[in-house]
Amino acid sequence: MDLKHHHVEVNGLRLHVAEQGEGPLVLLLHGFPESWYSWRHQFAPLAEAGYRVVAPDQRGYARSDRAASVDEYSLPHLVGDITALITALGAEGAVVVGHDWGAPVAWTTALLRPDLVRGVVGLSVPPLPPVGMPSIESSRAIYGDRYYQAYFQEPGRADAELAADPAATLRRLLVTASGDGPSPEPVPWIVPEGATIVESLPEPPELPAWLTAEDLAVFTEDYSAPDAFTGPLNWYRNIDRNQGLMAAFQGLRIEVPALYMVGDRDMVTALKGVPELREMLPHIVPKLREDITLPGCGHWTQQERPEEVNTALLDFLRSI
């Protein structure tokens, strides 16, 4: 079965999607700075197991349309794209799997639309309903103005730095944040004073086994446009806006079957409050089936450890 690429119109935007297989719908939502291609190892195993596997380039990313204004990248917009995509694909519901930024979108879609979401899987980022991420103000208080999410807030600055040499940006970021990165322990991403965002990431001596030159070339092509990073960065520029937009849903629990997976060398595990949040997962997600830690794995869960991720996904899909 070959991958099929096409576009689907949702909420006035055309989203590029890659899909394979037939059967119950499984949506795979990438994170930053990735694209549909980050799920390259999941398509065939899930499709061969009898599922229709669809991975969109999300709003503002890669081959999908960019929204006109910053405030059109809020969490309600992102969740709205996924609910509209399920309907546009002709499905009555889906299992939604998200990694990195895709995880808050997946968790929140499950929180708000359990009628459409049969099950939810989060890779790397655990559920923090209803907003998905702490406010920029709270992050600044803990990590300072050079914390990457705070650094991303200034329009144009990180956009230009990341886009100046996309191959170097992606090579440095993908390797540094992986289990093959230079730091023996996961650490928050903080840009040193006087450095650019790219200069904060060391140049790797070589690519790890999970990231080939061909893989890097695909990601680089996805980010070859001069404004390619602006849409993705605008997701971060709505973190504080999301606090207000989602306030009415405070206290809701995610009531569908769920799975969480993270690498023990993922930066997310080093963030303040995450260990305590994981202890609370059974209360936040009462139907959580498993909370899996992958030893030696960094941030790019499904790319670094495809076999373990695929096994866990298939076990979860069969169980619901």
The pLDDT tens digits for 262-312 are 999 999 999 999 999 999 999 999 999 999 999 999 999 999 999 999 999
- Per the CB < 8 A criterion, the answer to whether 145 and 151 are in contact is yes
Q: Is 7 a catalytic residue?
A: no
Query: How much of the chain exceeds pLDDT 90, in percent?
Result: 99
Is 2 among the residues known to form the active site? no
Distance CA 107, CA 121 (A): 8
Name 303's bridge partners. none
Residue 294 dihedral angles phi and psi, to the nearest 5°: -100, 110
Structural domain total, the chain: 1
Could you tell me the pTM of the whole model? 0.98
pLDDT band at 96 (very low <50, low <70, confident <90, very high): very high
pLDDT at residue number 258: 98
Mean pLDDT along residues 163-168: 98
In sequence order, what are the beta bridge partners of 17?
6, 56
Tell me the pLDDT tens digit for each residue of 47-94.
Answer: 999 999 999 999 999 999 999 999 999 999 999 999 999 999 999 999
Of 16, 30, 77, 299, the active-site residue reads 299
Closest C-alpha among 268, 267, 307 to residue 181:
267
Residue with tokens 């040499």: 165
Name the average pLDDT for the chain: 97
Element of type H or E holding 45:
helix 43-48
User: Quick one: how far is CA 239 from the chain centroid?
Assistant: 14
Q: What separation in angstroms does the CA of 251 have from each of 111, 126, 254, 285?
A: 11, 16, 10, 12
119 — pLDDT class (breaks 50, 70, 90): very high
Q: What is the pLDDT of residues 237-276, one digit of tens each?
A: 999 999 999 999 999 999 999 999 999 999 999 999 999 9
Q: Would you state the structure tokens that stand for residue 64, as one six-digit string? A: 């999908």
The size of the chain, in residues, is: 320
- Phi-psi region for residue 100, left (φ > 0), alpha (ψ -120 to 50) or beta? left
pLDDT of 1: 63
The catalytic residue among 100, 159, 222, 266 is 100
Instruction: State which residues form the domain around 150.
Output: 4-319
Structure tokens belonging to residue 72: 């059109």
Q: What is the CATH number of the domain that holds 300?
A: 3.40.50.1820
